[in-house]
Amino acid sequence: MTEIKIPFANPKANYQQHEVEIEKAIHQVLEMGQYILGSQVRQFEESFAKAVGVSSCVSVNSGTDALILALKALEIGPGDEVITVSHTAVATVAAIELTGATPVLVDIEPESYCLDPNLLERSFSEKTRAIIPVHLYGHPADMVPIMKFAREKGVYVIEDCAQAHSASIDGKTVGSFGDLACFSFYPTKNLGAIGDGGAVVTNQPELAQRLRLIREYGWKDRYISTIAGMNTRLDEIQAAILNVKLPYLQMKNLKRKAIAAVYDQNLAGTSFVLPKTRAGTEHVMHLYVIQTEKRDDLQAYLRSNGVGSAVHYPQAVHQQPAYRGRLRGSDQLPVTERLVPKILSLPMFPQLKKEDVEHVCKLLLDWESKL
Could you read off the pLDDT of 41-59 as tens digits, one per residue? 999 999 999 999 999 999 9
CA 37/CA 85 separation, integer angstroms: 33
Residues 6+ apart with CB under 8 A from 220: 213, 226
CATH superfamily, region 248-369? Aspartate Aminotransferase, domain 1 (3.90.1150.10)
Tell me the per-residue pLDDT of 331-344, one tens digit each, with 9 for 90 and over.
Answer: 999 999 999 999 99
Q: Tell the burial category of 222 from Cβ atoms under 10 Å away from its Cβ (0-12, 13-18, 19+).
A: exposed
Across the chain, what does the average pLDDT equal?
Answer: 98
Q: What are the residue ranges in the chain where pLDDT is below 70?
A: none
User: Are 277 and 283 within 8 A, CB to CB?
Assistant: yes
In this prediction, residue 371 carries a pLDDT of 85
Strand blocks (E) in the chain: 56-60, 81-85, 102-106, 128-131, 156-160, 168-169, 172-173, 180-184, 198-202, 219-221, 224-225, 281-282, 288-291, 343-346
> The pTM is what?
0.98
What lies within 8 Å, CB to CB, of 353 at 6+ separation is none
Nearest to 255, CA basis, from 288, 291, 219, 209: 288
CB atoms within 10 A of CB 326: 10
Report the half-sphere exposure of 174 (CA within 13 A, side-chain side): 31
Looking at residue 86, its amino acid is: S
Q: What is the pLDDT at residue 180?
A: 99
- The fold of the 12-247 domain, in CATH, is Aspartate Aminotransferase; domain 2 (3.40.640)
Q: How far is CA 90 from CA 6, 142, 319, 334, in A?
A: 27, 21, 11, 19
Are 341 and 113 in contact by the 8 Å Cβ rule? The answer is no
CB neighbours of residue 99 within 10 Å:
20
Q: Each residue of 190-225: pLDDT tens digit?
A: 999 999 999 999 999 999 999 999 999 999 999 999
Give me the residue spans of the domains in the chain.
12-247, 248-369
